Chain A
Amino acid sequence: MALSAPPPAVKQQLPNGAFVYVQNRPTPGRMSVVLTFSSVGVADTDGMEGLRHLWEHFAARGPRRDLDGFLEARGCVLTAYTTRDATQFVIDGPSEQVAGAMEAVNRILNPLVVTDEELARELRVIREEDALRTWQERVTAAAWRAGYGEMGLDPFGNLADMAKVQPADLMSLHRAQLAGNGLSLVVTGDLEASITAERAIEILRRLPSGAERLDDDAEEAVVAASARVDLGHGRGAFVGGMGEPGTVAALAAGLAIAVQRPGVEVVYTPSVRPGLVTLVSADRADLDWIDARTDAERLAFFGVGQSLVQQWVTGLQQDNVRSARLLGLLLVQRPGLDLEMLRNQALTMTEEQFLAGWGRFVRENGVVVEDGR
């Protein structure tokens, strides 16, 4: 499938600051809706780590707690994600159900009431969720905390902090989130863009602007560091964020390493903010292997890394849900950035950039996480 001129789309910023983006895409019979709430201005803090995650659990069920049933009866599914940058609610389903999906968005944007009893029950569920986190997740969280200090707080949260949350905290956060600034709604798929956009605008324009969301961590300190976990190993490469060529080069190198060492997984959550590309493995030898390669051995996989990162970008563009999630995030972070820029960076990546990308994973340059048993 050739990626040429973009298909018909409606992109609009409303007077209250919210973004609406609706795009017709060649995904026969399928549509995706992504509602994105930026974390800027409402980010977790030390002592209240995990408030946004807990809020996500309630918001995803809707004010009447009936959203899943409403959507699943229409063949749609709702999933929700909380990352450092944003909370996203994703509805995926048949395109003829787009009206139902928009109604679900409308319900999420209604006032939320949380009772003590509900909160207690949900805290039990969160505790269950914590017990199920994979070692890969724990390695990645440890790398972020080590590399970025307080700016690298774990979006999952801290159970002790979450236990202190009161219903009023959640309802207050919900009110702060119901504002145009820092909000985007992306609808993509096999649909009529202008009609869907009309409904999206109607839903969002009733919201107040809210406080202007100023990025409060532009000066994020980068600290090369190490950490220990109970299981697994990791290497974190510091990157500047999407749009910065070094990020694409680090991804290319990381993907090329994972091809040669199948036990290695590459973890990267797309963001325009500085962050980490993390390689995790159960076997420390996989990560020591990175250090031991000569430049010639690293460059032998330059072409492979370039192909892999191009395919990664293509995958982001072609996958309806992933592309809608990324678009939603970019709209609240840097509306001018597009995926074509990433593709061009991958195409024009030089051997020097690839080597530099590889070098970011080397022990002395990145974050090192080791099995502390």
Chain B
Amino acid sequence: MRAVVVALALGLAGAGLGQRALTPVPVTEWAQPGAERITVVYVARIPGVVRARDAAALDTLETVLLRGGTRVMGGPEWLAAASQAGVAPRAVRGDDWFAVQVTVPEGAQNLGIQLVAQVVTGARLSDFNVVPAVDAQRGRERDLWDVWRTPGRLDRAKLMKEDVRAWASQIFQPGNGRLILAGAIQSGTAQAEADRRFRDYQPRLPIPRLRQDEAMPEKGVPGAAGLYEWRGPVLKPTLPDLGPRLLALMALGTGKSSSLHRVFRETNGWSYWQTLVLWPVADGWRPRLSVLRASAVDGTWMEEGEEALRADIATWDEGTVMRARGMLQMSLMRGSVLSPFWVKTRPFAIDDLEDAALFRAHLALAGVTDFAPGAILESTADVTPDRLKELATQMLDQSSLLVIPPRDPQPVELPDRSGTPGDGGTD
């Protein structure tokens, strides 16, 4: 163990002295027969713990990174080159990962790698672009979905342009990220081109973050609806029983016949939106059983909700297993608006080249480069209702509760429907 620690320490010291990393950017290729374009994703971990102001800085970086051009090309020139396949380039940030994605026409693989490498090794973050973006962030009010995406409080008032540059310097370091190429790729050639394009990729002296704020709980969600959530432990895609665990989660929260939907919407009318989201984090997925609810002022109802959920789990049978398997197949192999695999504010569209590549890029970051959805499905073949119940209950037992109440709770009653017999009243 000691030897390993020493080796790691030397590696870091070497990077600090400006030595070139041996494999600056490893490449994973994923050929898609029939594709007419190529998409290139660079994905990296966000080092360290993301605090309140940091999240605002990362939001800003996501907005400005691709706008200002690179050391080689001006902003409009780079954007035009990176849009020629008819797909806009994008920067995407997760809780603890960051991605840059460019799509190019078939035959332009090297150009795609070149455009991504330009951003990673030398995005221009000039005052001209960064300062207005920081000002805009400072004055911005978050809505419910912003809070859902990043539940901690973002103290935008303290945001400075240096925060944005500091994060760029820490994320885009040799050895921190990897490339994924998907679509009409020319197999076997991407690593050499990446080595060429990143050959001058020198470790940059990280710009220190000036101040790291403590994570603070959000005081409340703007508007009438609050956020209530059961957050499970991170599910690593390398787990030997990944398939059965995913199956249990599908039974719990995916689809309109899931326990979550039946209990919270159909039976009790507590909420319109309640779902399982497998939130991508660098090590895998964090299961989030999210409920957005207007007809509550705090989280005291969650105890009753969890009790009802557990009672529903107790009723699961063979039909539940079959339905969960259908939902798992749909989510892993076809994609759907009901899929629990999300990026930002929507599910990945698995049948879309760009989303599928980003999904794979996230998996590669989490340590899986040979993702096989068929094998995951097969591994669920022998799961019994009892095993499913056990895994779902375990997830609930291990989950933590997140409650961010609404800032402007509304009266629960609807406008008067006088004369309507049998009005069911309110909850």
Give CA–CA (A94, B319) in the complex, Å: 18
Nearest opposing residue in chain A for B328, CB measure: A75
Give CA–CA (A301, B36) in the complex, Å: 22
Could you give, for residues 291-332 of chain A, a 1 whenever the CB lies within 8 Å of some chain B CB and a 0 otherwise?
Answer: 000000100110110011111101000010000000000000
Point out the residues of chain B lying under 8 angstroms from A259, CB to CB.
79, 83, 88-89
CB of B327 closer than 8 Å to a CB of A: yes
Contact-residue bracket for chain B:
35 or more
CB of B426 closer than 8 Å to a CB of A: yes
- Whether the pair B427, A285 counts as a contact (CB closer than 8 A) is no
Name B295's contact: one of A128, A283, A304, A311 (CB within 8 Å): A128
Name A30's contact: one of B132, B334, B352 (CB within 8 Å): B334
Give CA–CA (A259, B78) in the complex, Å: 11
Give CA–CA (A116, B423) in the complex, Å: 6
- Whether the pair A1, B34 counts as a contact (CB closer than 8 A) is yes
CB of A92 closer than 8 Å to a CB of B: yes
Q: Answer whether A120 and B425 are a contact pair too, CB < 8 Å, given A263-B63, A310-B86.
A: yes
Could you give, for residues 327-361 of chain B, a 1 whenever the CB lies within 8 Å of some chain A CB and a 0 otherwise?
Answer: 10110001011100000000000011000000000
Max chain B Cβ within 10 angstroms of own Cβ: one of A131, A261, A319: A131
CB of A365 closer than 8 Å to a CB of B: no
Give CA–CA (A128, B336) in the complex, Å: 23
- Whether the pair B422, A115 counts as a contact (CB closer than 8 A) is yes
From A46-54, A159-167, A240-248, the one touching the partner chain is A159-167
Shortest Cβ distance from residue A365 to the other chain B in the assembled complex, whole angstroms:
24
| Interface Cβ pair total, 8 Å cutoff | 181
Give CA–CA (A92, B410) in the complex, Å: 36
CB of B256 closer than 8 Å to a CB of A: yes
Q: Answer whether A121 and B424 are a contact pair too, CB < 8 Å, given A74-B326, A75-B326, A79-B337.
A: yes
Could you give, for residues 225-251 of chain A, a 1 whenever the CB lies within 8 Å of some chain B CB and a 0 otherwise?
Answer: 000000100000000000000000000
CB of A171 closer than 8 Å to a CB of B: no
From B10-18, B187-195, B232-240, B411-419, the one touching the partner chain is B411-419
- Whether the pair A120, B255 counts as a contact (CB closer than 8 A) is no
User: SS class of chain A's interface: helix, strand, loop or mixed?
Assistant: helix
User: SS class of chain B's interface: helix, strand, loop or mixed?
Assistant: loop
Shortest Cβ distance from residue B349 to the other chain A in the assembled complex, whole angstroms:
8
- Whether the pair B273, A132 counts as a contact (CB closer than 8 A) is yes
Shortest Cβ distance from residue A74 to the other chain B in the assembled complex, whole angstroms:
6
Contact-residue bracket for chain A:
35 or more
Could you give, for residues 125-168 of chain B, a 1 whenever the CB lies within 8 Å of some chain A CB and a 0 otherwise?
Answer: 00000001100100011011100000000000000000000000
Shortest Cβ distance from residue B164 to the other chain A in the assembled complex, whole angstroms:
14
From A65-73, A104-112, A208-216, A333-341, the one touching the partner chain is A65-73
CB of A93 closer than 8 Å to a CB of B: yes
Shortest Cβ distance from residue B338 to the other chain A in the assembled complex, whole angstroms:
5
Point out the residues of chain B lying under 8 angstroms from A319, CB to CB.
351-352
Q: Answer whether A121 and B269 are a contact pair too, CB < 8 Å, given A116-B423, A304-B84.
A: yes
- Whether the pair B83, A307 counts as a contact (CB closer than 8 A) is yes
Q: Answer whether A69 and B323 are a contact pair too, CB < 8 Å, given A77-B330, A120-B425.
A: yes
Nearest opposing residue in chain B for A123, CB measure: B414
CB of A113 closer than 8 Å to a CB of B: no
Nearest opposing residue in chain B for A90, CB measure: B337
CB of A255 closer than 8 Å to a CB of B: yes
- Whether the pair B273, A77 counts as a contact (CB closer than 8 A) is no
CB of B90 closer than 8 Å to a CB of A: yes
- Whether the pair B327, A120 counts as a contact (CB closer than 8 A) is no
Point out the residues of chain A lying under 8 angstroms from B422, CB to CB.
115-117, 120
Give CA–CA (A117, B256) in the complex, Å: 20
CB of B396 closer than 8 Å to a CB of A: no
Give CA–CA (A260, B91) in the complex, Å: 13
Q: Answer whether A163 and B414 are a contact pair too, CB < 8 Å, given A79-B337, A116-B420, A121-B269.
A: yes
Point out the residues of chain A lying under 8 angstroms from B64, CB to CB.
262
Q: Answer whether A77 and B338 are a contact pair too, CB < 8 Å, given A68-B255, A116-B420, A128-B293.
A: yes
- Whether the pair B414, A127 counts as a contact (CB closer than 8 A) is yes
- Whether the pair A131, B319 counts as a contact (CB closer than 8 A) is no
Point out the residues of chain A lying under 8 angstroms from B329, CB to CB.
75, 94
Nearest opposing residue in chain A for B415, CB measure: A163
CB-contacts of A128-152 with B (<8 A): 128-132, 134-135
Could you give, for residues 59-96 of chain B, a 1 whenever the CB lies within 8 Å of some chain A CB and a 0 otherwise?
Answer: 00011101100000001100110011111111100000
CB of B421 closer than 8 Å to a CB of A: yes
CB of A59 closer than 8 Å to a CB of B: no
Nearest opposing residue in chain A for B322, CB measure: A73
Nearest opposing residue in chain A for B148, CB measure: A132
Give CA–CA (A157, B366) in the complex, Å: 43
19 contacts between A and B (CB under 8 A): A72-B255, A72-B256, A72-B323, A75-B326, A77-B330, A78-B256, A116-B420, A125-B272, A129-B272, A129-B273, A131-B144, A131-B292, A134-B144, A163-B415, A164-B417, A263-B136, A283-B133, A308-B86, A311-B87
Known pairs A163-B414, A282-B136; list 11 more (Cβ under 8 Å): A29-B334, A68-B255, A75-B325, A77-B338, A124-B424, A128-B273, A135-B143, A260-B76, A262-B64, A262-B67, A304-B80
Question: Which residues of A does B touch, CB under 8 Å?
Answer: 1, 29-30, 68-69, 72-79, 92-94, 115-117, 120-132, 134-135, 159-160, 163-164, 166, 231, 255, 258-263, 282-283, 285, 297, 300-301, 303-304, 307-312, 314, 319, 373
Task: Report, nearest first, the 8 A-B pairs whose CB atoms are least far apart.
Answer: A311-B86, A75-B326, A120-B424, A116-B422, A131-B294, A68-B256, A128-B272, A129-B272
